[in-house]
Amino acid sequence: HRLDRPTTGALVFATDQAIAQSLHERFRSHLVTKVYWAVVEGHPKGDAWTCDEPIRKEPHSPSQAAHTDFRVLARLDESLALIEAIPKTGRHHQIRRHLLHAGHPIVGDYRYAGIERSDAWGERLGSGTRMFLHARSLRFTHPFDGNELHIEAPVDSLFRKVCGDRFGDWSKRPQPVSSPEPPAPNYHSW
C-alpha cells in the first residue's frame, strides 16, 4: 500500500513478513476497499460516474486497465466540489489522472493541474502548495483472525476549512458498521 507524497490519510503497515505478505496479496487481489476524498475544480455534471480510462505507466508503455468510481459529496461553491473516489485498480496516480480526464483536476495537484493553476488555488484558499487528496478509509479482513477492519483517517483542519461547514461537527461521526460493502454515510449529520 502506498500514497503519493502529497496525499494525506490512512496507511497500513505490517509488523512482520507474514502479515506483510498477506496484506500485499489482499491489495494485489483487490480485496481492500479504499475510499479517498478530493477537492476538485468545477462541478461535475452528474452526482456519480465511473472512469475506465486505461493508464500508461510510462509514455511509451502499454496501457493498463484502470477503474475508479466517483461520487459528488458536496458542491462547495461556484467552482469547487468535494468528491469521493473508490479505485477498483491500483495504477500509478490513478485517481489524479482519472479526475483530470473527467475535467476536474484536484486542487493543488501541481503535476496534473499545472503550476500556475495550483499556485492560484493556493493563494486563493490560503493553502500554499497543498494538494487536496485524502485517503479517507481502508476496509479489509484481518490476515489471520478474519475479522473485518475499517480504518478511517480524519481530515485535517485545512481540509475542513476549505470544505466550509458542509458536515457540521466533524468530531461526531457515525461508527463504522461491519458489512461486505461500506455503508453509505450520512454526510449531513457530520
What domains does the chain contain, in order, with CATH numbers? 8-163 (3.30.2350.10)
pLDDT of residue 86: 97
pTM for this entry: 0.83
pLDDT at 14 (0 to 100): 85
Neighbours of 37 (CB within 10 A): 21
Q: What is the pLDDT of residue 116?
A: 95
Residue 19: the pLDDT is 85
Distances, alpha carbon 144 to alpha carbons 65, 86, 140, 180, in Å: 31, 25, 12, 17
C-alpha distances (whole Å) from 157 to each of 92, 122, 124 are 28, 15, 17
Closest CA to 76 of 158, 171, 160: 160
Are residues 82 and 163 in contact, defined by beta-carbon separation less than 8 angstroms? yes
Considering the candidates 4, 47, 69, 169, report the single residue annotated as catalytic.
4
Tell me whether residue 69 is one of the annotated catalytic residues.
no
The amino acid present at 74, given as its one-letter code, is A
DSSP 92: T
For residue 124, report the phi and psi dihedrals to the nearest 5 degrees. Answer: -65, -40
What three-state secondary structure class fits 36?
strand
Q: The dihedral of CA 33, 39, 41, 46: what is its sign?
A: positive
Lookup result for grid cell 500485499: 24
Q: How many residues does the chain have?
A: 190
**How much is the pLDDT for 186?**
39
**What span, in angstroms and rounded, lies between the C-alpha atoms of 117 and 149?**
38
pLDDT at position 1 is 66
Residues in the chain, pLDDT under 70: 1, 165-190
User: Helices (H), strands (E): how many in the chain?
Assistant: 4, 9
pLDDT score, position 185: 43
